[in-house]
Amino acid sequence: MPKVTLKEIKADPYVQALIDAGNRHLAAIGYTEHGLRHTGLVSHIASNILIKMEHPERECELAAISGYLHDIGNAVNRVAHAHSGAILAAGILERHGMPPEEIASIIGAIGNHDEQDGNPVNNISAALILADKSDVHRSRVRNPDLATFDIHDRVNYAVKRSFLRVYPKERIALELTIDTEICPVMEYFEIFLARMLLSRKAAEFLLTKFELKINEVKLL
């Protein structure tokens, strides 16, 4: 039986409709971008983490699929979107003929990616958490009026560069360049501390360490 691929999932019009709807719904309530840019980037980073750490090729592909599907629950509601997204993903993947054990790994990852109640439960989950939480960047801000920025807009807009660097068997480092004239570093921690703590747990699950560097200064 042919294995389900990321390319196949990307070509599914139902998946595209859910991603587009979720992104529109979040725009309506003032959230940052959660569309194809975000899902594509998270998909790539999640897979790359496991590739760099020399995990099996199929596990890397499943991480890519998890990253692409992880936010489809936003089409239902932002609240508990990880849980609803996992349920939606199960039906999609079953329709594509994915084996139950692979579906179980992916929905476990999607259902645990949010910092409110998530935990790394498998390698795919850990990679997804790290990839998702690393996407902080000014390109995600949709509000064109700097004068009306809330703290989330301000923190994202202040980040001029974001890169998740994998040092195999040593550490995984999130490197940020922040314009402190727009946002002091303390505001980053004010809203993202829970995400960084979950990232640290995810790195530990992968038997490595998480490091946060802002403007070349190691903070975690």
67-110: per-residue pLDDT in tens?
999 999 999 999 999 999 999 999 999 999 999 999 999 999 99
Q: What's the burial of 148, exposed, middle or buried (CB within 10 Å: 0-12/13-18/19+)? A: exposed
- Domain of 126 in residue numbering reads as 6-218
Residue 1 lies in a domain: no
Number of domains forming the structure of the chain: 1
Single-letter residue type at 164? L
Residue 74 lies in a domain: yes
Show Cβ contacts of residue 188 under 8 Å, excluding neighbours closer than 6 positions: 155, 158, 176, 178, 214
User: For the residues 107-121, what does the mean pLDDT come to?
Assistant: 97
For residue 57, the model assigns a pLDDT of 98
Tell me the pLDDT band of 164, cut-offs 50, 70 and 90: very high
Residue 68 lies in a domain: yes
CA geometry: angle at 92 spanning 68 and 6, to 5°? 35
For residue 1, the model assigns a pLDDT of 63
CATH of the domain at 34: 1.10.3210
* Percentage, residues of the chain above pLDDT 90: 90
Residue 60 lies in a domain: yes
Residue 69 lies in a domain: yes
Is the predicted pLDDT of residue 220 greater than 90, yes or no?
no
